[in-house]
Amino acid sequence: MAADWVVFWVFAPVSIGSAIAMLFQRNAVHAALLLIINFFTLAVFYLVLGAPFLFAVQIIVYAGAIMVLFLFVIMLLGVDREESLVERLKAQRPTAILLGLGLAAEIFFAVRAGVGFAARAPAGFEKVVNKGGNAVALSHSLFRDYFFPFEVTSILLIVAAIAAMVLAQRRGPAVTLADRAVAEEAGEAGELEEEPVA
C-alpha cells in the first residue's frame, strides 16, 4: 500500500469524526476547536494530492486567521448564555433543506454543462491557464484582474468585525475614579463598623 493511502486512511476517519462531532456540540468553543481539527485534516489531504500551495493557504487562512476570528467572536458574544433550541420559524428547516437540494442540483448541472465530468484537464490547460505554476496563475488573476474587488472585500470584512464588536459591547454605568474612591471608602467604613468591640 502506498504512503498516500496510509495517510488518507489515517486522517479520513479523523476528518469525518471531527465534522460529525462538531455538528452535535452544544458548546460553541468546542465546536470551533473541532472545526480547526477538520481544517487541519483537509490541509493534509491537499498535501497528499500534490497541492502544497492550498495546503499552506488552508492552514494559514482557514485554520489560522478565520478560526481566530470565530473564537474571538464567540468569546465576545459570550459562551455562558443559554440559547433556546426551539425553532421560532416553523418552516425554516424544510425551506433550508429544499434550498440546499436546489443548490446541489444547480452546481451539478452547472458543472455538467460547463466543463463536463472529464477525467483529465483539456489539452493545453497547463500551458495557458497555469503558466508558470498554479500559485503564479492565481496571483496574476487575483492581483491584476480582481485586485479592486479583493480590496473592497477585505475592507468590508474589517468593517463587519468592528460593527460586531460595537453591537456586542456590554454597556454598563460609567464609573469615574472619584466614584470608585468614594465606594472604597464606604466599604472600609462599613468593615470597621461591623467589627465587634471587645
Residue 24 lies in a domain: yes
What CATH code is carried by the domain that includes residue 34? 1.20.120.1200
Residue 93 lies in a domain: no
Residue 43 lies in a domain: yes
Residue 86 lies in a domain: no
pLDDT tens over the chain, length 198 residues: 688 889 999 999 999 999 999 988 888 788 888 988 999 999 999 988 888 888 888 888 887 888 777 777 777 766 665 666 677 778 888 999 999 999 999 988 887 776 666 666 666 666 666 666 667 777 777 788 888 888 888 888 888 878 877 776 666 566 677 777 777 777 755 554 455 554
User: In the prediction, which pLDDT does 192 show?
Assistant: 46
Distance CA 132, CA 149 (A): 24
Distance CA 33, CA 39 (A): 10
- DSSP annotation of 180 reads H
User: In the prediction, which pLDDT does 69 show?
Assistant: 77
Nearest to residue 80, comparing CAs of 35, 32, 36, 26? 26
User: In the prediction, which pLDDT does 99 show?
Assistant: 94
- Listed in sequence order, the DSSP H helices in the chain are 3-23, 28-48, 52-57, 67-77, 92-114, 125-128, 134-140, 147-168, 177-194
Domain-ending residue, one of 50, 81, 112:
81
